[in-house]
Amino acid sequence: MPRPDKVAQVEELKERLARAPSLVVVDYRGLPGPEATALRRFLRNQGVEFRVVKNTLAKRAAAAAGVPGLAPALKGPNALLLGEGDPALPFRMARECTKRYPNLQIKAGVFEGQPVSAKEVEFYATLPTREELLARLAGALSGPMRGLALALAGVVRKLPAALSQLEKKKGAEG
C-alpha cells in the first residue's frame, strides 16, 4: 500500500512535469553541499528549478504525466532541471552549469515531449532564444528595404544636380 506522502510527492511531480515543456536529467554525484546550494540559487534566478528526485517516484510521475523516455535515464542519484516558458532554457542552463560545476553530468532530457540524449541536450542548448530569432528575422527583412531606401535617396539627392546640368546645357545651346 503506497504511503500518502509518497502519493502526494508523485502527484506534485506529475503536475510539474506536465507544465514543463522540457527538462534535463543530471547526475549530481560528487557535488559538494555549498556548490549544490550555489547551483540551486543560480538556477532559481534564471527561472529553472533544480529538483532532486527519487527514481521510482520520478518514473511513476513521468508515466502519469505522459513524459516518454525518462525511465532509462533514472538510475543512480538524479536531479531534474525544469523550466517554464522557453523550452530550451533548461538545456542552456544545464550546459552552463556543467561548465561551472564539473561534477554535474547531463544524462538525458525531454524536449517538447520527445526524449533526447545527452548529446542532443548540447544541441538544443545552442538554439537561439525566441527574441534572438525575431531580431535576426527583423534584420534580414530590413536589409533589402534599407538598401532600396538608400538607392532611392541617392537618386533623389542627385536629381537637382542633374536638372541643374541640364539647365546649363539648354542655356548654352540657346
pTM given for the model: 0.70
What are the pLDDT digits (tens) for 96-136? 999 988 888 999 888 888 888 888 888 878 777 777 777 77
Whether residue 108 is found in the same domain as residue 146: no
Domain with 145, as residue range(s), is: 129-174
Tracing cell 502527484 back to the chain, one arrives at 11
Determine whether 26 is exposed, middle or buried from the number of CB atoms within 10 Å of its CB (0-12, 13-18, 19+).
Answer: buried
The 10 Å Cβ neighbour count of residue 128 is: 11
Q: Are residues 103 and 166 in the same domain?
A: no
- Contact present, 17 and 67 (Cβ < 8 Å): yes
Instruction: Looking at the structure, tell me whether residues 26 and 61 fall in a common domain.
Output: yes
Is the pLDDT reported for residue 174 higher than 70? no
Same domain, 9 and 49: yes
What H or E segment, with its residue span, contains residue 91? helix 89-100
**Residue 45: predicted pLDDT:** 92
Residues 61 and 137 in one domain: no
- Say whether both 167 and 110 belong to one domain: no
Q: Are residues 156 and 78 in the same domain?
A: no
In this structure, are 136 and 153 located in the same domain? yes
CA distances from 97 to 23, 46, 90 (A): 14, 12, 10
Strands of 48-53's sheet in order across: 48-53, 78-83, 22-27, 105-111, 114-117
Residue whose C-alpha is closest to residue 106's, from 66, 79, 68: 79
3-state secondary structure of 85: coil
Same domain, 28 and 106: yes
Residue at a domain's end among 107, 127, 147: 127
Dist. CA 134–CA 130, nearest whole Å:
6
Cell of 44: 532559481
- Same-domain status, 79 and 155: no
Q: What is the structure's pLDDT at 26?
A: 92
pLDDT value for 41:
92
53 and 135 assigned to the same domain: no
Give the three cell numbers for residue 133.
530569432
Residue 102's identity, in one-letter code, is P
- What are 40-93's pLDDT values in tens digits? 999 999 889 998 889 888 888 888 888 888 888 888 888 999 988 788 889 999
Assign residue 23 the CATH number of its domain.
3.30.70.1730
Same domain for 46 and 121, yes or no, is: yes
Alpha carbon separation from 111 to 90, 114, 119 (Å, rounded):
10, 5, 13
Residue 54 phi, psi (nearest 5) = -80, 135
Grid cell listed for 158: 542627385
